[in-house]
Amino acid sequence: MNEQELIKKCLEGDKKSLEQLIHAVQELIFNLSLRFLWNRMDAEDATQEILVKIITHLSKFKGQSKFETWAYRVATNYLINIKKTKVETVLTSFDVYADDLKIYKAPADYNLPDKALLEKEMKTGCTLAMLQCMNRELRITFILGSILKIKSHIGAEITDTTPANFRKRLEQSRKILSHFLHHHCGVYNPSNPCRCSKRINTAVACGRIEKTNLNFAGKIDYYNAEMEELHSLSGIYQNHGVFKSNTDFVAELNQLISSKQIMNEN
């Protein structure tokens, strides 16, 4: 069944087709949301809201692009306009984040059996936190273009701009992040003193890492260890892998539909 046939069946009220459609996009929307918002709970809430918007505005999809592209556009519009998150109120600039990296509130040495897992958590959380220091326009462009490897003409359609402008934003975001990583990150530039393993205790002490409820490393479908490129901006971010949600979005949306909390706006 092609996209148009699937969507037609969804609009006709076919439950199985709707579930198939949700399954097709829920992972990409969650991964976009988690990278954009940093916080897992915020990302799961956003994903459900975005899926509701996709369902209730499905008739507005005219098939002039791939459904995935349209779903990304709905998601991007939602994320760009969501109210300011707690993380954004703290990480207001790269200077603020640079100062934070100099603070150690606990011993640097961490040698418990879960060290490797928490080091991945620290690295992923730290590099995604850096994205919060950029404005939302540059952040979403970097995620789409550098992490998800979406081509500029598709990225332009998603973000409602021109391909030339999308490429300009992407270049600007890469330049900003590369500069920060070069001067502060020990993964990107080994001459920097900061090391993920040395910040585990501090992150635990500050509550940024909850050992029994990891934000990133404990819930990855697969970890791209083979893609590690120490001096590559894209390599560092693609190395995170694909994040997995604990939420059964299909079940939750079916419950909302059954209780008529989702009103069809088509």
Q: What is the 3-state secondary structure (H, E, C) of 252-266?
A: HHHHHHHCCCCCCCC
Confidence of residue 251 (pLDDT cuts 50, 70, 90): confident
User: Region 61-74: what's the mean pLDDT?
Assistant: 93
Residue 265, pLDDT above cutoff 70: no
Confidence of residue 116 (pLDDT cuts 50, 70, 90): very high
Residue 167, pLDDT above cutoff 70: yes
Non-local (6+) Cβ contacts of 150 within 8 A are 72, 144, 158
pLDDT confidence of residue 242: 87
- Percentage of the chain with pLDDT > 90? 75
Confidence of residue 165 (pLDDT cuts 50, 70, 90): very high
Summarize pLDDT for 187-223 with one digit per residue, the tens.
889 899 999 999 999 999 999 999 999 999 866 544 4
User: Region 49-78: what's the mean pLDDT?
Assistant: 94
pLDDT confidence of residue 229: 45
Nearest to 126 by CA among 172, 192, 60: 192
* Per-residue tokens: 213: 């409820």
pLDDT confidence of residue 252: 84
pLDDT confidence of residue 75: 98
pLDDT confidence of residue 1: 73
pLDDT confidence of residue 239: 78
Non-local (6+) Cβ contacts of 250 within 8 A are 19, 22, 23, 26
Nearest to 239 by CA among 170, 151, 146: 146
Half-sphere exposure of 147 (CA within 13 A, CB side): 27
Q: Decide which of 238 and 111 is more confident.
A: 111
What stretch of H or E contains 245? none
Question: What predicted TM-score, i.e. pTM, was given to this entire model?
Answer: 0.90
pLDDT confidence of residue 266: 45
Nearest to 144 by CA among 163, 125, 129: 163
pLDDT confidence of residue 220: 56
